[in-house]
C-alpha cells in the first residue's frame, strides 16, 4: 500500500477492532492459565481460598465469550461499519484487489529484463494470458461505466426539462447532475487507460517472444506504467463511486455484476505476475509448480522397452 492507503483509518477500523478482541481473548486465556495452574502458585491460590470448579468455569467462560464476540464481529458488524462510513462492499473489494494487482505488477516491473523467467517463452505466454484476462475484465467494467454515464445523461435531460416546464429551474440541481456525469466519465476514462495498458503489455510480450530489439526494456517499462495506472484506477473507483452512490442513492445491478466479475477475474493478472517470485503460496500452488519444473528439467535416461 502507499502512504495514502495506510492513512485510511475508516477502512482499517474493523481490522483494529478485530485485533483488539483477539488480544483480549488471549489475555483471558493467559489469565486463566496463570491463576489456576497448580504448577505456578500465586496470590489467588492461597490455602484458605482453594480454587473451585466454578472459578475455573468462570475464567474459561470469559475467554470463550471473547472468542464468540470476535466471531460475531467478523460475521456481522464489519459490513454494517462499511455502510456507516459510506463504503460499498463491492467497491471496497474491487479496490483492494486492484491495489494488490498493482503491487504485483510493480514487483514484476522492477525485475531486470535479463531475468531467467523473462526469457522463458512458457512464462511469457502465461503472463500474456493473464494480461488478456485483465484486459477483458476491465472491458466489461468499462461497458458498465458507459451505460451508467448514458443513464445519468438521460436523467440530466429529463430533469432539466421537467424543472424548466415547472418554471422552477434550479441551477444547483442541474449542476449536481452534471457533476455526476463528469464523475462517471472520469471513471470511464481511467478504466479505458488501464485497459489499454494491459493491451500494451500483450503487444510487448509478442515482441519479446519474437526477439525484437529493445522489447525487454519496453516490456518492463509498460509493466511499471500499468501498475501505476491500476493503482490510480483503484483510488478513482472508490472516491467516485462513493460520490455517485451518495448523491444518487443507488448501486445499479449491472455495476455490481461488473465489479464482482472484475474482482474475480483480474486476479489472473496477479497470479501470473507473482508466479516467478513465489516458493510457497496459495494462488499458484507455487511449491508444487516449482517442484514440477525442477522434475521436468532432469535429464532422465532412456528406458528400453522390454515387452511382455
In the chain, DSSP finds a helix count (H) and a strand count (E) of 11, 0
The answer to whether the CB of 3 falls within 8 A of the CB of 13 is: no
- Angle between helix axes 121-165 and 267-274 (nearest 10 degrees) is 150
Tell me, what's the pLDDT at 304?
43
Q: Mention every residue, 6+ apart, whose C-beta is less than 8 A from residue 114.
A: 216
Distances (CA, A) of 42 to 35, 59, 84, 305: 7, 16, 46, 76
* 28: number of Cβ within 10 Å: 19
Low-confidence stretches of the chain (pLDDT < 70) are 1-87, 160-177, 245-251, 279-308
> Residue 232: its pLDDT value, please?
93
On whether the CB atoms of residues 59 and 35 are closer than 8 A, the answer is yes
Spacing of C-alpha 173 from chain mean position: 35
User: Do residues 239 and 247 lie in contact, with contact meaning Cβ atoms separated by under 8 Å?
Assistant: no
Half-sphere exposure of 43 (CA within 13 A, CB side): 1
Beta-carbon contacts of 56 under 8 Å, excluding residues fewer than 6 positions away, are: 32, 36
- Written as nine digits, the cell of 247 is 448523491
* CB-CB contact of 45 with 35 (8 Å): yes
- DSSP 8-state secondary structure symbol assigned to residue 304: P
d(CA 200, CA 223): 9
Give the cell for residue 68. 464468540
pLDDT score of 22: 66
What pLDDT, on the 0 to 100 scale, is given for residue 227? 94
pLDDT, position 230: 94
Amino acid at each position: 500500500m502507499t502512504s495514502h492507503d495506510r492513512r485510511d483509518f475508516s477502512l482499517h477500523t474493523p481490522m483494529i477492532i478485530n485485533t483488539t478482541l483477539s488480544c483480549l481473548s488471549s489475555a483471558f486465556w493467559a489469565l486463566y492459565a496463570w491463576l489456576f495452574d497448580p504448577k505456578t502458585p500465586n496470590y489467588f491460590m492461597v490455602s484458605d481460598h482453594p480454587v473451585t470448579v466454578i472459578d475455573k468455569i468462570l475464567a474459561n467462560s470469559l475467554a470463550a465469550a471473547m472468542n464468540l464476540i470476535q466471531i460475531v464481529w467478523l460475521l456481522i458488524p464489519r459490513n454494517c461499519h462499511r455502510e456507516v462510513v459510506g463504503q460499498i462492499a463491492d467497491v471496497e473489494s474491487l479496490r483492494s484487489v486492484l491495489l494488490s494487482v498493482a503491487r504485483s505488477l510493480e514487483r514484476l516491473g522492477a525485475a531486470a529484463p535479463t531475468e531467467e523467467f523473462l526469457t522463458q517463452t512458457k512464462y511469457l505466454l502465461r503472463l500474456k494470458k493473464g494480461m488478456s484476462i485483465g484486459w477483458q475484465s476491465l472491458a466489461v467494467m468499462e461497458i458498465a461505466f458507459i451505460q451508467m454515464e448514458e443513464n445519468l445523461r438521460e436523467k440530466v435531460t429529463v430533469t432539466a426539462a421537467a424543472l424548466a416546464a415547472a418554471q422552477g429551474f434550479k441551477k444547483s440541481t442541474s449542476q449536481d447532475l452534471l457533476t455526476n456525469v463528469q464523475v462517471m466519465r472520469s471513471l470511464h476514462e481511467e478504466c479505458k487507460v488501464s485497459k489499454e495498458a494491459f493491451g500494451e503489455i500483450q503487444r510487448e510480450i509478442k515482441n519479446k517472444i519474437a526477439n525484437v530489439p529493445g522489447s525487454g526494456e519496453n516490456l518492463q517499462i509498460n509493466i511499471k506504467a500499468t501498475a501505476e495506472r491500476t493503482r490510480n484506477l483503484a483510488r478513482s473507483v472508490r472516491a467516485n463511486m462513493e460520490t455517485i452512490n451518495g448523491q444518487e442513492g443507488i448501486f445499479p445491478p449491472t455495476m455490481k455484476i461488473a465489479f464482482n466479475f472484475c474482482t474475480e477475474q483480474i486476479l489472473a493478472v496477479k497470479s501470473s505476475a507473482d508466479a516467478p517470485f513465489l516458493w510457497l503460496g496459495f494462488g499458484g500452488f507455487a511449491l508444487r509448480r516449482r517442484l514440477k519444473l525442477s522434475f521436468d528439467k532432469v535429464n532422465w535416461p532412456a528406458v528400453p522397452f522390454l515387452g511382455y
